[in-house]
Structure 1
Amino acid sequence: MIFRYRLQISVMDGTTFISILFWNKEIIQLLGKTAQELKEGLLEDVECAYPTKLGDLMKKKFMFKILIKDSNINKNDNVYKVVNFTNDDALLKKYCHRDLRAV
């Protein structure tokens, strides 16, 4: 069996929440682990039913490049596919709203 990621996350930019969808390639880049490695880690830690690696994403800042489809605009599809992301401090400072820079 081959394990792959499909992860939907709610994010906030200071004005609203949206749901973004990560596929396998982007989550491997973000977490540094394949889905198989994450699953094996869960099997080793019997007391943990939730991957702590996912919890590490909480409260972190990222800038996302998302794909906006016709269905997002015309059919109220509120889930946007991530095509790229960064956590580069210089880019975040340049493009992040000033109210969020200190958070």
Structure 2
Amino acid sequence: MGTLRDLQYALQEKIEELRQRDALIDELELELDQKDELIQRLQTELDKYRSVIQPATATQARQQSGLRRDAQRSKRQAISAEPTAFDISDLSHVTLPFYAKSPE
């Protein structure tokens, strides 16, 4: 076993090592606190921007959906191929030509 002086010297080295580690831990905790504050500040700012943007986007989405509905309505409109003054008696004398389905 070492002498008392060797043990006291080893103890002093360990104490100094612990002080350095404590200083590093304090420094890292301070840096962590600063980053937490930055995150909180940026989160608040982001929430503020989202509150401004969401109503504008919601209004814009409603307007676009309204345009889509109008576009769908216009697509659904069709033109009838039948004459407007349709009278079945006019077609009673019309005969349609016959075409063979199979070649002969």
The question of a shared fold, defined as TM-score above 0.5 by the shorter chain, is answered with no
Q: Relative contact order, CA 8 A, sep 6+: which one is greater?
A: 1
Identify, as 1 or 2, the structure richer in strand.
Answer: 1
Identify, as 1 or 2, the structure richer in helix.
Answer: 2
**TM tier relative to shorter chain:** under 0.3
TM-score by length of 1: 0.17
